[in-house]
Amino acid sequence: MKESEESKKYSRRDMLKMSLLTGAGVAVSASGIGGAVAAMGGLGSKKATAEPHEDDDAISFYGKHQAGIITPQQTYLYVASFTLLTDDKKAVISLFKKWTEMAAAMSAGSVNETYGNDWLPPSDTGEAVDLSAARLTMTFGFGPTFFEKNGKDRFGIASKKPKHLQDIPPMPRDDLQEPFVGGDVCIQVCADDQQVAFHAIRNFIKSSVGKAELKWMQSGFISGKDGMTPRNLFGFKDGTANAASTNTRAHDQIIWANQGEPDWMQGGSYMACRKIKMFLEVWDRSSLKDQEDTFGRKKDSGAPYGKAKEHDKVNLSQLPKTSHTAIAKGSGQQIYRRAYSYTDGVDTKTGYVDAGLMFIAYQKNPTQQFLPMLLMLSKQDKLNEYTKHIGSAMFACPKGIKKGSYIGKELLEA
């Protein structure tokens, strides 16, 4: 095969290694890669130590469950919801095969470059070439309209719809703003490097042209020292009561769908999304007491009222009745939260900072877990004085994908 026709899959770190080995410096140009490889006798050569390999900070795309659910939260998020533009099942299969191939390569820290024809755009957009895998994960989900849209079973899969997949019903205080509602297919991309995360979502969008279009997209971030619970934009530790990322028993009880669901969904999870605007200026003018009463926890330590430490057991009788923790915990349900803060510039209506929380939660049964909790919070939560729910969506995320398979295969093939 001529070099110009080759699809080169080198880990981003391989490129750095190669450039060091050949003394070429860090910035290896596209045309220089082949030269660098040749100078080492090719990647397969015994002389070369730069075998294609997985980055140290790579998280496999393949596995029993999809990555990006119980994966300890990365620093950056992009979540994108797509509308499928075609009723042709074959076109959807080809898109999902392409996305699978890309996701597997990108999560291993590879760039999938096809250079050589100056008259065509490069296949990859290029901004992640010299970056590491940065714990990149890509989690795919299907919305209710993927199974049935306007009464039409366009892909012949309506009978395979998972039991609890439905649009989140309207909540009393909702102020949902199109296009930030629903979608046919969703991809949650997370990484410790924002450019790596953006590169992934951008290339998924680029490769979907003609088959799917972006309905909405949200970026987000969290920050915190290793082992410490990150703080949200109200300055409170957020995520304390989540089951530990190593607690597999709790994950089975809370997160992973099982019997009673179609086979493709067993080991998957329901992803609930709420875009929640937070009125930072109002919050910043409220007293510390009012802020702590809102959550039922101390701002500094994160300890529940009546206790000293963040992870001390919550005693509901010691919490203000309408506090967020009292209502959420009092619902008697558990969910697995994976939320990210966002800032979207200025809200032109108010002149305030447009910021909030991209709330994402995973659960095995949203009808029993998420929806009743959301309804109770929507009616009674003191936090509602400072927030507004402006986006909403629910997706069914299939179980993990096996090597050689592709996203949605069991759903789309008989």
Ligand X SMILES: C=CC1=C(C)c2cc3[nH]c(cc4nc(cc5[nH]c(cc1n2)c(C)c5CCC(=O)O)C(CCC(=O)O)=C4C)c(C)c3C=C
Q: Enumerate binding residues for ligand X (CB under 6 A).
A: 232, 234, 236-241, 274, 276, 278, 295, 297, 314, 324-325, 328-329, 335, 357, 359, 370, 373-374, 377, 387
> Which pair of structure tokens corresponds to residue 284?
């910043």
Question: CB burial class (10 A; 0-12, 13-18, 19+) of residue 192?
Answer: middle
**DSSP letter, residue 401:** B
Q: In terms of CB distance, is 141 or 408 closer to ligand X?
A: 141
Least spacing, CB of residue 385 vs ligand X, in Å: 12
d(CA 124, CA 66): 24
Q: In terms of CB distance, is 65 or 382 closer to ligand X?
A: 382
d(CA 166, CA 144): 6
In 3-state terms, what secondary structure has residue 214? strand
d(CA 372, CA 34): 58
Least spacing, CB of residue 325 vs ligand X, in Å: 5
Least spacing, CB of residue 301 vs ligand X, in Å: 11
Q: In terms of CB distance, is 297 or 364 closer to ligand X?
A: 297
Least spacing, CB of residue 201 vs ligand X, in Å: 23
Least spacing, CB of residue 100 vs ligand X, in Å: 31
Locus of tokens 């820290």: 109
Q: How many CB atoms neighbour CB 404 within 10 A?
A: 8
Least spacing, CB of residue 118 vs ligand X, in Å: 49
Least spacing, CB of residue 332 vs ligand X, in Å: 10
Least spacing, CB of residue 341 vs ligand X, in Å: 9
d(CA 310, CA 179): 38
Q: In terms of CB distance, is 35 or 239 closer to ligand X?
A: 239
d(CA 397, CA 391): 19
d(CA 139, CA 137): 7
d(CA 136, CA 358): 18
Q: In terms of CB distance, is 335 or 397 closer to ligand X?
A: 335
Q: In terms of CB distance, is 61 or 359 closer to ligand X?
A: 359
Torsion of CA 109, 79, 276, 354, to 10 degrees: 80
Q: In terms of CB distance, is 64 or 173 closer to ligand X?
A: 173
Q: In terms of CB distance, is 132 or 333 closer to ligand X?
A: 333
Least spacing, CB of residue 182 vs ligand X, in Å: 17
Q: How many CB atoms neighbour CB 72 within 10 A?
A: 12
Least spacing, CB of residue 142 vs ligand X, in Å: 21
Q: In terms of CB distance, is 70 or 84 closer to ligand X?
A: 70
Locus of tokens 């680029």: 206
Q: In terms of CB distance, is 58 or 181 closer to ligand X?
A: 181
- Report the run of H or E that residue 188 belongs to, with start and end: strand 185-191
Q: In terms of CB distance, is 205 or 241 closer to ligand X?
A: 241
In order of 73, 103, 135, 218, 250, the CA distances from 67 in angstroms are 11, 11, 10, 19, 17
Distance between terminal CA atoms of the chain?
Answer: 37
- Strand 8-11 to 353-363 pairing: unpaired
- Give the phi and the psi of residue 216 in degrees, each rounded to 5: -150, 160
Can you say whether the dihedral through the CA atoms of 304, 306, 312, 313 is positive or negative?
negative
Locus of tokens 């510390």: 288
Least spacing, CB of residue 374 vs ligand X, in Å: 4
